[in-house]
Amino acid sequence: MELPATFVPGFHDENEVRKMKYNDLGRTGLKVSQLSLGAGGFSDLYGGFDIEECKKTVHEALRRGINYIDTAPYYGQGVSEEVLGKCLEGIPRKAYYIATKVGRYEKDPPNLRFNFTAEKTKESVETSLRRLRLDYIDIIQVHDIEFAPSLDIVLNETLPTLGKIVKQGKAKFIGVTGYPVSKLWECIQASTIKINTVLSYCRLTMFDNTLKSYIPNFKAKHLGIICAAANSMGLLSSLGPPDWHPAAQEIRDVCTEAREYCKEKGVELGKLAVYYTLQQEGPDTVLVGMNSVKYLTYNLDVVNNGLSQKEKDAYEEVLKILSKMKQTHWENVEVEAYRKALKGQ
């Protein structure tokens, strides 16, 4: 196997890197690891975090062949980027690709949650570079485009501003992210600015395969496909979802049943969820939030060794449990709540 362009002799564990599978991220020229590192948990987004543990996780992940990291200003309102900046100190810049986002910022008040204007976009990229302590970002993405007042502002302000930022050398490529896959596709088709990557989350999981039907369209446009949140933002994990999770009670209840079953069998549900998404054709990388060496080790084990027989048995049973779900998504739930909150301000 040819070593990836991110390989740095003396820094990487060559044997581990050779085990990792790398895919072309669309036509960016970047070869990314099949498993990538989400840094949302380098903040209070999913509960507590420990900076030293985050540092160890980043070092270990990169040394063992993961070469793609994703963050956003929204995660902890800048905390994730700040912490990641500290974690990357002393690591060769060549050893990783990094993606961050623009457009989504504060938790509250509602009128400060999102801002897709040209001015804010420009300012946000500068702030991200400063927090991350970097000269350039590999992929700059528009965060959760479905929350924009309309797609027009994304098409006429956000994306053209990112185009200028790429020309200035502050970012290499442009991406879009969001929950409704139909909205991502609509934006990609309408954009006059070249979009290089698409990040879809929670839509290629053990209970929701919506992304599958869009993969041929994305491939036809030569887009890099980043598939995030295999564990459905905690629904398919032993810890369970955070309080803010938008899923309806029925979805939560069925996932709780799957969680209880896995606990009883001594199997990590999150590991089964990551395995499922890794098996699917189409995504170039599966982006998993990890803020501890323990969970990193679980997930690298899935990539390198698959599941044990005990885990395979549990996996089949969990798929059966999840198939009871009548409603498998929460499209529009958050957007409607946001629009309502805006009106009520």
Which residues belong to the active site? Answer: 75
3-class SS letters over 85-98: HHHCCCCCHHHCEE
Nearest Cα residue to 224 out of 158, 153, 138: 138
What's the gap between Cα 167 and its chain centre? Answer: 25
Token pair of 76 as six digits: 């902890």
In the chain, the largest separation of any two C-alpha atoms, in whole Å, equals: 58
Token pair of 258 as six digits: 């799957």
Nearest Cα residue to 196 out of 155, 152, 138: 138
Rounded Cα gap, residues 215 and 160, in angstroms: 25
Strand runs (DSSP E) across 229-272, as ranges? none
Token pair of 328 as six digits: 């498998």
| Cβ-proximal residues to 317 (8 Å cutoff; 6+ apart), any chain | 261
From residue 101, alpha-carbon distances to 104, 123, 199, 289 in Å are 8, 12, 11, 16
